[in-house]
């Protein structure tokens, strides 16, 4: 390990000498360009010193380009801030100076220690990263709203290294399938101190997985996906499996998260992934739905509550679908009965803030469809009383969870109130129009119950008359045939 550190230090020194020699021999324009990149050498030196001077603790393994911005700083005014509050760790430039102390790796210094661990165990090359990111720094900045944070290039690159590598390490430690075995095989080859630190990190990450992964899905915490992918390519090539990508590894960490992902999705078809939240959003969206948009006008977007719809001969049934957003309407029994089909709903504390951030992302970015906005809007209007919730529970739509009927109402109402909806999918208009047309057709066919009873009575009377008529006809036909038969006398 010391030999590796010395070789890295020597390589960096040689690189600095080359820069100095080049600077003396170039013109004034090149001199200005080199001076602009002094922060690269400063960061390399800083991290090399940290790596060489650090001593790994030995805890017990059982211890606890020009583009539209896609990462936004959200306004918290008038909304439930708990839906946007980090539970374990803060990431990204918007929260660069915020520290949390709820886990052993949450503080900035602890995140830096994870990077140092990467240099020791996974051969993370600081020099290579900083020189790579120096050429892409403006491309990365374009992912964020202009003027939304104040970080110089040096501080910004420092943050990208620490937070980007931290995200990569968390994904590796929580990944499913064959990846944990590959991770263990790699760690077992390292010295005991590194083994114990890595094992302790994995244990703690799994103990707090729900809240930790929830933090990684906060819109304000996002890091451009290609930055995280850099560490996958350069530090974790030993976990490469043909046909799989970092997107597959990341989604495996959310296999047991609600809403569940669509099994029909193929990550190879998602080439323009912006960040981790964008990937999660894509995996939960139905194919070819909710992509179009229209202006939101509340008077035209209305559906009755579940109780009112039930009184209008509309029933609810649980739908078998691999997409939780796939709400649909159909008619049955000669179009006399309407059916709203809704996939099974699982509500927990952790997925409320995830859905909140997904809706915020749809409304802020507006280029990924409006599936979650449409879903929340529809459910908010369907369940407004505890009786509405009871109807959905009895239909098997709302799964048995610790959430009460009142909490179900607040679940959707709070999310809806936390986002200023300006764009909506026309799919919601179509669903509402189908329900509205069904109810109006039913009223035209059967204005009231007494008309229905009268129609049924007339129908029964006609059947009774026909039965009597054919009975009499059969009797007279049989008697006529009998009278025409020849009579014989027997002696």
pLDDT in tens, 422-433: 778 888 888 999
- For residue 190, what pLDDT band results from cuts at 50, 70 and 90? confident
Question: What pLDDT is recorded for position 289?
Answer: 74
| b/e per residue 36-71 (b: at least 16 CB within 10 A) | eeebbbebbbebbeebeeeebeebeeeeeeeeebbb
Report domain extents, the chain.
1-36, 46-284, 294-445, 450-491
Q: How many residues does the chain have?
A: 491
- Region 110-130 average pLDDT: 84
Average of per-residue pLDDT values in the chain: 81
Report d(CA 179, CA 238) in Å as an integer. 10
- pLDDT of 128 over the 80 cut: yes
Q: Who wins on pLDDT, 427 or 97?
A: 427
Residue 295 has pLDDT above 70, yes or no: no
Structure confidence at residue 447 as a pLDDT band (50, 70, 90)? low
Inter-CA distances, 281 with 69, 212, 286, 355, 420, Å: 17, 18, 10, 9, 19
Residue 30 clears pLDDT 60, i.e. is over it: no
Report the alpha-carbon distance of residue 254 to residue 310 in Å, rounded.
36
The radius of gyration of the chain's CA atoms, rounded to the nearest angstrom, is: 33
**Of the segments 125-134, 175-184, 242-251, 455-464, which one has the largest average pLDDT value?**
125-134
Token pair listed for 192: 């005991």
CA angle 351, 402, 324 (to 5 degrees): 40
288 vs 66, more confident: 288
Q: DSSP assignment, residue 152?
A: -
Give tens-digit pLDDT for 135-175.
999 999 999 999 999 999 999 999 999 999 999 999 998 99
Higher pLDDT pick, 59 / 55: 55
Give the 3-state secondary structure of residue 318.
strand
| Residue in 245, 265, 397 with CA at minimum distance from that of residue 328 | 397
pLDDT of residue 84: 81
Identify the pLDDT of residue 288: 73
Higher model confidence: residue 56 or residue 176?
A: 176
The three-point CA angle 242-248-252 to 5° equals: 125
Mean pLDDT score, 120-124: 84
Q: Could you give the percent of the chain with pLDDT greater than 70? A: 78
Which residues are CB-neighbours of 101 under 8 A, at least 6 positions away? 107
Is the CB of residue 114 less than 8 Å from the CB of residue 231?
no
pLDDT of residue 462: 84
Higher pLDDT, 59 or 271: 271
User: What is the CA angle 231-234-239, rounded to 5?
Assistant: 85
Closest Cα partner for 230 from 173, 168, 162, 187? 168
3-state secondary structure labels for all residues of 35-94: HHCHHHHHHHHHHHHHHHHCCCCCCCCCCCCCCCCCECCCCCCCCCHHHCCCCCCCCCHH
> Which helix (DSSP H) or strand (DSSP E) does residue 423 occupy?
strand 423-424
Q: What angle do CA 225, 173, 215 make, to 5 degrees?
A: 55
Q: Which tokens hold the place of 128?
A: 């290579």
pLDDT band of residue 1 (cuts 50, 70, 90) is: very low
Statement: residue 230 has pLDDT above 60: yes
Q: The whole model's pTM is what?
A: 0.79
Task: Give residue 24's pLDDT band: very low, low, confident or very high (50, 70, 90).
Answer: very low
Q: What is the pLDDT of residue 4?
A: 43
Lowest mean pLDDT among 28-42, 248-262, 460-474: 28-42
pLDDT of 255 strictly over 50: yes
Look up tokens 């909806």; give the residue.
421
- pLDDT confidence of residue 482: 60
Kindly state the average pLDDT of the residues 402-418.
92
Please state the rounded mean pLDDT for residues 203-230. 94
């Amino acid at each position: 390990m010391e030999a590796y550190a010395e070789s890295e230090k020597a390589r960096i020194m040689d690189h600095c000498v080359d820069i100095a020699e080049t600077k003396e021999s170039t013109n004034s324009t090149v001199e200005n360009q080199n001076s602009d990149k002094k922060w690269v050498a400063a960061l390399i030196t800083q991290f090399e010193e940290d790596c060489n001077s650090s001593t790994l603790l030995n805890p017990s393994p059982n211890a606890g380009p020009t583009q539209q911005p896609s990462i936004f700083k959200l306004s918290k005014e008038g909304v439930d801030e708990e839906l946007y509050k980090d539970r374990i760790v803060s990431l990204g430039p918007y929260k660069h100076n915020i520290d949390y102390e709820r886990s052993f790796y949450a503080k900035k210094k602890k995140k830096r220690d994870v990077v140092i661990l990467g240099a020791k165990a996974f051969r993370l090359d600081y020099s290579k990263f900083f020189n790579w990111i120096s050429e892409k720094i403006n491309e990365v900045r374009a992912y964020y709203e202009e003027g939304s944070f104040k970080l110089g290039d040096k501080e910004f690159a420092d943050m990208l290294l620490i937070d980007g590598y931290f995200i990569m390490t968390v994904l590796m430690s929580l990944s499913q399938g064959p990846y944990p075995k590959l991770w263990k095989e790699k760690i077992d080859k390292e010295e005991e101190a590194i083994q114990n630190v890595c094992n302790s990190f994995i244990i703690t990450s799994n103990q707090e997985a729900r809240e930790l992964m929830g933090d990684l899905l906060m819109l304000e915490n996002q890091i451009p996906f290609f930055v995280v992918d850099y560490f996958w390519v350069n530090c974790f090539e030993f976990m490469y499996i043909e046909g799989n990508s970092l997107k597959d590894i990341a989604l495996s960490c959310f296999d047991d998260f609600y809403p569940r992902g669509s099994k029909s999705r193929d990550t190879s078809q998602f080439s323009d992934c912006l960040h981790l939240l964008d990937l999660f959003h894509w995996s939960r969206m139905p194919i070819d739905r909710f992509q179009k948009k229209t202006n939101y006008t509340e008077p035209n977007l209305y559906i009755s509550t579940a109780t009112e719809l039930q009184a209008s001969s509309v029933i609810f049934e649980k739908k078998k679908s691999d997409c939780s957003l796939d709400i649909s309407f159909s008619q049955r029994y000669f179009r006399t009965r309407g059916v709203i089909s809704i996939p099974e709903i699982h509500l927990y504390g952790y997925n409320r803030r995830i859905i909140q951030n997904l809706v915020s992302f749809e409304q802020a970015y507006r280029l990924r469809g409006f599936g979650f906005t449409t879903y929340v809007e529809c459910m908010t209007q369907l369940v407004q009383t505890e009786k509405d919730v009871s109807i959905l529970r009895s239909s098997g739509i709302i799964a048995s969870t610790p959430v009460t009927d009142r909490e179900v109402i607040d679940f959707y109402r709070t999310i809806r109130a936390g986002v200023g909806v300006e764009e909506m999918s026309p799919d919601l208009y179509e669903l509402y129009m189908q329900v509205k047309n069904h109810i109006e057709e039913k009223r035209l066919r059967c204005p009231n119950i007494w008309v229905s009873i009268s129609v049924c009575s007339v129908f029964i009377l006609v059947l009774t008359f026909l039965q009597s008529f054919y009975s009499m006809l059969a009797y007279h036909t049989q008697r006529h045939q009998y009278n025409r038969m020849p009579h014989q006398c027997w002696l």
